[in-house]
Structure 1
Amino acid sequence: MSVSPNISDQDLTRLLRTGSKDAFRVLFDRYGGRLQYFALSYLKSEHDSEELVQDVFLKLWEKREILDCSGNLRSYIFKVAVNSIYDFIRRKNVEQAFVEFAAGNQAEVDSTWDDVVYNDMVLQIGRLMDKMPEQRRRIFKMSREKGMSNEQIAAELSLSKRTVENQLYRATNFLKENLRHSPMTAILFYYLFC
């Protein structure tokens, strides 16, 4: 069934709720360009704004069955877009902070937001490290924070090199396993400890 481009937003929403791909195309044609222009004004990148528009429309399609037919579809779309822009900028800021950290650039952080995100992730890793057995945590910190070699750690703690290697392996696996559902924290972990 073909959907008229002049269909009202309420009728368009009703058709979307039934899974109409034609209605989805009309929705994209109606709001895609405006949404991209809106996103571009914040993101300052054609590529990023295109990616964001695709993300917004994917979210709309995934939630089509719960769209409110009596609500303002345009407002809802732009609300989803604003939230996506916020998440996108946050993710980009976090990624940039980690890239700079990994490159050894410890210049002043551009904004309080970057500080908050970075500190929150370091705190999350710290909490996980606190759950490790004392010896494992100590070995891990000596290796990653103090930059000591396995041989130096073994000598200082009167352990075999093999024990140190085993503890480091277990510590790294524990952190990876617990951070795998948090991609940004996993990136921080990678740059800090791998």
Structure 2
Amino acid sequence: MTISNAISERELLHRLREGDHDAFSSLYATHHDALYLYAYRLVDDEDLAADFVQEAFVYIWEKKALLHIETSLIAYLFRTVRHKFLNLKAHYKVRTDFADHFQHYLDEGAYVVDRNIEEKELFAQLQTELAKLPQKMSQVFNLRQQNIPDSAIAEQLGISEKTVKNLMSQTLKKLGHTFKRFVFFLFAY
């Protein structure tokens, strides 16, 4: 920038701070194209580049009274456009991260809900099948679900431990094919 250009720019900035529309129009006409090309290289989108340039000039106009530019106005405008770009990039990252986390939550939530529904349905089916079993078999099964040892079950029902094991084995065989997954789930822990 030559000395006369620097003086001219300082004069325009001074007039701009005072609210001179012609000074603003002159700054706009002088720097618009260079800013647009810079913004376009950043975003590779014509509309977005035009928006960045417009927002930079709107910012200059709105903050005209507070402007304290140490370097040239064009350098200040380039930084303003770059900050707009970085803010947009950060905003997109936040939105993308949120969308990813939300989708994960939905996927995980659907799995949990599906699993809970499946477990309730299996439990209801198990209760139906247990009701069909002979009384001693269902009693042994229910007591075993409560983690009561075979010796305590035998004592409570007045039968031998071997009978408890046999009844449990018969119960599991009867429920086996239908409830293989569920029985494993119940006794896996």
Give the TM interval when normalised to the shorter protein: 0.3 to 0.5
Structure 1 or 2, whichever has the larger Rg, is 2
Kindly indicate whether structure 1 or structure 2 has the higher relative contact order, using CA contacts under 8 Å at least 6 residues apart: 1
TM norm structure 2: 0.48
Higher helix share goes to which structure?
2
